[in-house]
Chain A
């Protein structure tokens, strides 16, 4: 359901659901670009440009995976363009990053990493409420004790939730994602 929603937003340039595309990809693409340009602000700027480019382009995608791959590749290309441009601007930087830029194929493991993270991050919202809260608070930097205190549950329960949640996130398949939760999140 939601996947076709993303495809519709991209293929038909639906302004009202275009924001969902950001929910789906923005953080992961920024993270991916940051691994290449080593600057979170630049990364963000590049990803905004890419999505603006997609918005202006006529390209249609049949499968969501096709769009996902396209976006990673676009992010890779745009980041490389930026790096080359920067290297031209400053010889100094060129010496700093003497290591040659990887080809997109050499980025395979990194792309897999990002896509794993993206899917897992997206599915946090599909977790049961208390588990979700524990994960959110952990990500915010709260300690197990602080979380236990805030939620009024035992430290052990927090630990269990945490462990189980991450295990679920890693292992969740597309097909057993709770559609209801995703639909709720994306609407």
Chain B
């Protein structure tokens, strides 16, 4: 039977008043068969006990409780306010602060409403065949292609290559996969290597690899999961660096303003400058930055998530400047960015955002923590 405080209290008070019906009396008798309840009934019936309890009650004055409550309420407000202030302050001195925005609700109206929706990128790319023919790969159309060396199945944002002959090809036929701004695309090469290309990136690769080596050429940003093959080393070449791979996963990005960045997640790779044979061996968790100004490569330990988040559908910025952040957003949403006050470019900022959100939501999140306003006009984002 369910115990109800409310009913029991009413019943007991009726009992003290001596106004119980026979039925209720039976109910009270049943209640009082419990030892604790019996003890309670007796103590409440004792005037001196009540005086004692009430004396204690009178030491907790509602008035003073209410005042303490109001004080706590004020402090709570002040805490919230100062939290906001300190965020603003740290941004002002360009230190950047962590702001987890992934789960943040939609901000009220930080951005001027424009009629055009700016959608995030989607799976789209152009594939240039050996003949020079250029095919648009859209998400919706499955497609089978055939070259002398192998076949290519194109379906749901992915191009899968399989070699015809069991013996590797003598000569190499190249394909170029170009991902425009606002796109991304995935590739599975004949050797089993998986490549995920980010927006505004291009990869040139043979339809089938030869016996001696595997070599691809990258512009932009890509994530590689290279199939292990000790006899045929895998090379990723960019304008600046050449990466020798021994079966591993890593991210290469030539989009950064002054550097080409390579981050190794697992396995082992060696990195060299484009025109050099001197090689730096990289270990998992390391970032190799090639500085285009000095022409030097430097290695450092980093949190790899920042560099690989994009292919898990997230943006992860960590003390990056607003200019760099918007540059990357621009590539993904295919918008051009214009800074009204160039001073804003250097503001550093950290955030963690979902890549498949509407750009408005992402910019709203930045507005929320930096106070910087954005205006979206067709495909241009104006930083006010």
Contacts and interface: CB of A to CB of B under 8 A. Distances in A.
Nearest to B73: A52
Contacts of B45: 170
Contact of A171 (B3, B9, B17): B17
Contact of B72 (A48, A69, A140): A48
Nearest to B68: A48
Contacts of A139: 51, 54-55, 58
B6 A69 contact: yes
A84 B40 CA distance: 28
Given A19-B66, A109-B36, A171 B55 contact: no
A31 to B, nearest CB: 6
Contacts of A112: 5, 8-9, 12, 37, 40
The secondary-structure label for the interface of chain B is helix
Contacts, number: 124
Interface string B28-71: 00000010110010011101001101111111111101101100
Given A22-B63, A112-B40, A120-B50, A51 B69 contact: yes
Nearest to A43: B60
Contacts of B6: 65, 68-69, 115
Contacts of B5: 68-69, 72, 108, 111-112, 115
Nearest to B8: A112
B327 to A, nearest CB: 41
B62 A22 contact: yes
Contacts of B53: 31, 117
Given A171-B18, A173-B17, A116 B65 contact: no
B14 interface: yes
A152 interface: no
Interface in A8-22: 18-19, 22
A86 B76 CA distance: 24
Contacts of A138: 51
Nearest to B37: A109
Contacts of A48: 65, 68-69, 72
B5 to A, nearest CB: 5
Given A52-B72, A108-B5, A162-B47, A121 B12 contact: no
B16 interface: yes
B230 interface: no
B60 A27 contact: yes
Contact of A26 (B19, B55, B65, B76): B65
A121 B76 contact: no
Nearest to A69: B5
Nearest to A45: B68
A181 interface: no
A170 B17 contact: yes
A28 B40 CA distance: 16
A135 B19 CA distance: 24
Contacts of A40: 56, 59-60
Contact of A166 (B14, B43, B47): B47
B56 A31 contact: yes
A171 B37 contact: no
Contact of A116 (B44, B47, B51, B57): B44
B84 interface: no
Interface in A151-187: 162-163, 166-167, 169-174
Given A47-B65, A117-B57, A163-B47, 13 more contacts: A19-B62, A22-B63, A22-B66, A51-B69, A68-B5, A115-B5, A115-B6, A117-B50, A140-B58, A166-B50, A167-B16, A172-B17, A173-B14
26 contacts: A19-B63, A22-B63, A28-B57, A30-B60, A44-B60, A51-B65, A52-B69, A52-B72, A55-B69, A56-B76, A65-B6, A69-B6, A72-B5, A109-B36, A109-B37, A111-B5, A112-B40, A113-B44, A115-B5, A115-B9, A116-B12, A117-B44, A117-B50, A124-B54, A139-B58, A173-B13
Give me the 5 closest cross-chain CB pairs, A-B, nearest first. Answer: A171-B17, A170-B16, A22-B62, A27-B57, A30-B60
